[in-house]
Structure 1
Amino acid sequence: MVRYHYALVDDLVSREEFDRLIEKKINDCGNLADETAAALLVVKDLGRSHVKIRGLRGKSSLFCFYGKIIGFSGVKEFDRSDGEKGLVSRLTVADETGQVELVFWDEQAAALEDTFEIADVVEIIGRHGKSIREIMPLNLRKTCVDIDCVMEVKERKPPERTDLHLLIISLAEPRPFTRRDGTGGEMVSGLVGDTNGTARLLCWESALLSGVSPGTSLSVTGALVKEGDYGGREVIFDEESHISPVNTIPAIPVTPLGTLVPEQSFTVRGTITKILPAKPFTKRDGTTSWVRNLRFSDESAEVPLVLWDADAKRTLLSGETLMLYNAYAKIGRSGETEVSLGRSGALFVVPGQTEKVRIEGVVLHVPEGTLLATSEGSWLVETKLPHGTHVIMTGLASGKRVFCESEEVVNHDPKAMKNDISAFIRSLS
C-alpha cells in the first residue's frame, strides 16, 4: 500500500527521501503510527493528500481526489482487435475547479450501474489514461464529502478561429515534433495574455515567432481558441494564423490579493515584504530542484508566496514589486490563502523609478545572483551570457537592478591588447 502513497508524491521526492520521512513521522508519533498511517501523514504534509481536478495536470504517477458524479455514459460493448468483445463505460466527475472522465473496462464497467448514482461524491485514486482528460481509477469509494459544482457535463467544443490582441508573456525553447504525414517540425509553447486574462500558447509553426520575445504585443488573425484541459484557455497558432507586432499593450486583469479564490489561477501584483532562503529538494529522477517561501502584499492583503525551480533561485529583494502571471491560489498548511507560481506561470520584477543607462562591465554568476560588475560598483541583472563575459548593457536602472534592453558583447583582440600593454609599459619607463 505504501507504494501507492509514494506514487502520489513521486514527482516531489525520491523513494529514499519518502522512506526517510516515514521513519521520522513514526518516531515523531512516539511509534504509535504504523507505516501506512505515517505514509498518509507524509503525503498530507507534502500537500498531496487530495488535489483538485484542476491540479490533475501535475507530474505525479497517481492522483487522489474527490469528485461528484455528474454524468454516466452507460455500458458500451465494442470489438477488440483480437475479435473478442469488450465493455467500456465512463463516469464524468466534477468539483468547483473542473471536470474529468473516469474510464472503466470490462468487469469494472459492467458493475458501475448498480454501484453508483448521479450526485454521489467519490474518492478516487487513479492515473492518467490515453488522454490527459481521462483518469484510469485504481480505487473508488463513496464518501460523505460535500462538493458544490455545476451538475451539467460540458460539451467539448471544437476550436474557433478568431482575431486577438495579445501580449507575449513567456516563451519556451522550440521542441521538435512529428506530423501525421511523417514530416518533422518545431513547436513553441508559452503564456499569453489579453483583456480576458492569461492563456496557454501552442505555436505549431515556430517560424511565426521568429524574432518575437516576451513583452511583445501582437495583433493575431486566424488564431484557434479552445478550452484547455481542466479549464482555462488555449491559444493555438498554425499555418493559417498571421501575426504582426503592435505598440499597444492589452490590459490583462489583475486580481487583488484579498479577493483570491482558492483552487483558481490569477494574475496578481504586489510587493515582497519577507524573503526566506531557497531550499533544495531531490526529485524522483534524482535531480535537485528548489523551493522558496516569501511574503507578498498589496493594498488589500498580505499572503504567503511559494516559488519553485528556477524562479526560486532568482535574486529578489525585499521591497521589490512583482507581477505574477497565471499564479495559483490554494489554502496553505497555515490555513491562509497561499499564492504559488509553478512552471506554467511567469514572474517579472516591476521597475520603480528608472533612468536610462549604458553600462560596460563583466557578467559574474555568484551565489547571491547574477551581477554586472563595473569599476564603479555592481548591478543585479538577468542575462544568459556566461560568467566572465565582457559586455556593454543598455537598459533601465532602478535601485540595485538593471533591466536589460540590449547586450553588446565586447570581443577583445589579443594582438591589440598586447600592443596596448607594451605601450603602457614603455610609458612607465
Structure 2
Amino acid sequence: MHYALVSDLLTKEAFDERVEKKAESLGGLVDEVTAAMLVVDELGRSHIKIGDIPSAQTSIVSFFGKILEIKPPREFTREGEPPGLVASVVLGDPTGTVTMSLWDDRAEATSELEVGSVIEVIAKPRPGKKEVTCLALRESNVTIVETKKPPKSEVMAAPLTAKILAASEIREIIRRDGTPSFVQEFIIGDASGTARLVCWAPDLFADVDEGASISIDGVQRKEDEGIVEYVVSDSAEIRILPDEIGALTRDAADVTEGQNPVVTGIVSSVSDVRTFTTRRGTESRVRNVSVQSSSKKSGVNVAIWGDAADALFLPGDPVQVINAAAKLNRYGELELSVGRGSAIRTINLPGKSVSLTGIIIPRPEGLSLDDGKEVWILLTNESPVPGTTVDVEGICRNGRIEVTNLVSNPIDADPLIHRLGSLL
C-alpha cells in the first residue's frame, strides 16, 4: 500500500528492494510495514496531520485518522454505465477532521470499519478542501485519543433571522455531469456574531439588498471546528423584516485571535497591491491596509486577498472588516485576513456638493482632478483624457468626487505650461 505514495519516484521492484534492505539494516527489529513507512519517509513522502491536508502540495497524501462517522454506501447512476456506489467516512486527529470518499469496490469496505478505530489512509486530496478520495486504507495500531469535533449539519427548525452585511456576485458552477448551477454568497450578522451564507438559488435574493434584515425558513446549518455556515436551496422562503437587526461590532483595538464579527476603524495607511503565485500556480494579489482604532492609540493590520485587493482605500476612510479571521503574522502581531467568506467595506460619510474646474491627471489610485489647490480622485464612468481641463459637478467626500456631471473643455496648453513651470 505504501508504494502508491512514491510510485512516481521509483518502480515497484526498486521500492521492494529498498524496504528489504531497510529491514535488514535494522537487524529485523521492524516488520515490513514499518520498514516501508521508513522508506517512504526517506523519499520525502511521510505521513501528514489531517489539519495539513487542505494545504498539501502533493497529489497523494498519507495520514492516520480516527473514524468519527460512517455514512454507508449509496447507489448512483452513471450515463451509459452500470450503477456505482459511494460512501464517506469522517476521520479526525488533534489537528482537524476530513471527509473521505470511497467509490465502488472501496465503498463496500465501510461495512468492515468501526467508529472509534484508527486507520492508515493513502488518498488523493482536493486542494483547499477538507476532503480526500480514498486510494487505499488499512487498520492501524496507532492510538489517537483526542480529535477535533466532526462537522455537523442540520435543517433548522426555526427561521434564521439576520442582517445582510455583504453580498458577492452570482457565480456559475459547472457540476460533475456538465450541467450549470448558480451560487451567491452572503455574510450575515446579528447580535451574536457573523457567518457565511451560501445560496444555490440566487433568484430568492433578487429583491434583497445589502443592509436588509431578513427571515429565512428552511435553512441548513453547518458547523465545522466552531465555524458556522448556512446553506439556502430553492425550497427556502425569505421574508424582509421591517425592523433592523443589529450586528455584533468591535473596535479595531479589540480584535482577538480567531474569527471576528464586524471590526470598525479608520484607515491610517495603504500599501501597493502585490502580485504573487499561489500554491496552485495561479496568479493572485494582496494589499495591506492598516486600520486604526477610534481612540487612535492602536490598530490592526488587514491583509486583503484576491480581487478585493483592487478596491480603493485612502487614509482617513472609515471602514468595516466583516467576518474576518485574525492570526499572528510573522512579526508576532495580530492580522485580519480578508478573503473568501469575509469582506471589507468603506463607510460612506455625508458629502458635500461641489462644482470645480481642473486638469485631469493620472495617479496610481485612478484618474484625478487637480484644481491647483487640491487633488481629488474621480469616481466616474467617463474617460476624460489626462492633461485636459474639465468642469466637474458631484459629491465630495474624503478625497473622492462622485461625479454627477463632467464636461471636457477645449485643450488650452497655457494653464498646463504654467502649472508645469511652477513645479520646476
Given the two structures, how large is their TM-score scaled by the length of structure 1?
Answer: 0.58
1:200 to partner: Cα distance:
2.8
Q: What amino acid is aligned across from residue 190 of structure 1 in structure 2?
A: F
Distance of 1:77 and 1:219 partners within structure 2: 37
Do the aligned partners of residues 90 and 307 (structure 1) sit closer, same or farther apart at CA in structure 2, a change above 3 Å counting?
same
Distance of 1:149 and 1:330 partners within structure 2: 22
Distance of 1:246 and 1:95 partners within structure 2: 45
Do the aligned partners of residues 109 and 249 (structure 1) sit closer, same or farther apart at CA in structure 2, a change above 3 Å counting?
same
Do the aligned partners of residues 149 and 86 (structure 1) sit closer, same or farther apart at CA in structure 2, a change above 3 Å counting?
closer
Distance of 2:97 and 2:290 partners within structure 1: 32
1:348 to partner: Cα distance:
1.4
Q: What amino acid is aligned across from residue 101 of structure 1 in structure 2?
A: T
The residue aligned with 2:193 is 197
Matches within 5 A, 1:244-393: 244=240, 246=242, 248=244, 250-254=246-250, 258=254, 260-262=256-258, 264=259, 266-282=261-277, 288-298=283-293, 302-350=299-347, 354-357=350-353, 366-371=362-367, 373=369, 375=371, 377-380=374-377, 385=381, 387-388=383-384
Q: Percent identity over the alignment?
A: 18
3-state SS of paired residue (2:250): coil
Do the aligned partners of residues 367 and 358 (structure 1) sit closer, same or farther apart at CA in structure 2, a change above 3 Å counting?
closer
Q: What amino acid is aligned across from residue 369 of structure 2 in structure 1?
A: A
Do the aligned partners of residues 189 and 387 (structure 1) sit closer, same or farther apart at CA in structure 2, a change above 3 Å counting?
farther
Distance of 2:64 and 2:121 partners within structure 1: 7
Query: Quick check: 1:332–1:338 contact (8 Å CA) kept in 2?
Result: yes
The residue aligned with 1:103 is 101
Distance of 1:79 and 1:186 partners within structure 2: 23
The residue aligned with 1:92 is 91
Given the two structures, how large is their TM-score scaled by the length of structure 2?
Answer: 0.59
Q: What amino acid is aligned across from residue 287 of structure 2 in structure 1?
A: R
3-state SS of paired residue (1:316): coil
- Unaligned segments of structure 2, at least 5 residues: 9-40, 411-424
1:172 to partner: Cα distance:
1.0
Q: What amino acid is aligned across from residue 307 of structure 2 in structure 1?
A: A
Over residues 219-266 of structure 1, what are the superposed CA-to-partner deviations in whole Å (9 max), with x where a residue is unaligned? 33536252267732225374652444757352334376555234x454
3-state SS of paired residue (2:309): helix
Do the aligned partners of residues 73 and 146 (structure 1) sit closer, same or farther apart at CA in structure 2, a change above 3 Å counting?
closer
The residue aligned with 1:397 is 397
Do the aligned partners of residues 411 and 247 (structure 1) sit closer, same or farther apart at CA in structure 2, a change above 3 Å counting?
farther
1:324 to partner: Cα distance:
0.8
3-state SS of paired residue (1:312): helix
1:127 to partner: Cα distance:
1.6
The residue aligned with 1:233 is 229
Query: Quick check: 2:119–2:137 contact (8 Å CA) kept in 1?
Result: no
- Unaligned segments of structure 1, at least 5 residues: 5-35, 41-48, 419-429
1:341 to partner: Cα distance:
0.8
Query: Quick check: 1:217–1:247 contact (8 Å CA) kept in 2?
Result: no
Matches within 5 A, 1:171-186: 171-173=168-170, 175=172
Over residues 103-161 of structure 1, what are the superposed CA-to-partner deviations in whole Å (9 max), with x where a residue is unaligned? 346569859979x99486989874239xx76422569899999996555x454312545
1:276 to partner: Cα distance:
3.2
Matches within 5 A, 1:10-89: 52=51, 56=54, 69=66, 71-73=68-70
Do the aligned partners of residues 88 and 168 (structure 1) sit closer, same or farther apart at CA in structure 2, a change above 3 Å counting?
closer
Query: Quick check: 1:370–1:381 contact (8 Å CA) kept in 2?
Result: yes
Asked if 1:128 corresponds to 2:138, the answer is no
Over residues 27-82 of structure 1, what are the superposed CA-to-partner deviations in whole Å (9 max), with x where a residue is unaligned? xxxxxxxxx99x99xxxxxxxx98848x94x8988697988635153987989987
Query: Quick check: 1:292–1:307 contact (8 Å CA) kept in 2?
Result: yes
1:275 to partner: Cα distance:
3.8
3-state SS of paired residue (1:73): strand
3-state SS of paired residue (1:251): coil
Distance of 1:223 and 1:360 partners within structure 2: 53
The residue aligned with 2:37 is none
Which range is displaced more, 338-347 or 267-276?
A: 267-276
Over residues 359-417 of structure 1, what are the superposed CA-to-partner deviations in whole Å (9 max), with x where a residue is unaligned? 5789979452134537574423656x25339997755623x245x5xx646699xxxx9
Query: Quick check: 2:208–2:240 contact (8 Å CA) kept in 1?
Result: no
Query: Quick check: 1:50–1:63 contact (8 Å CA) kept in 2?
Result: no
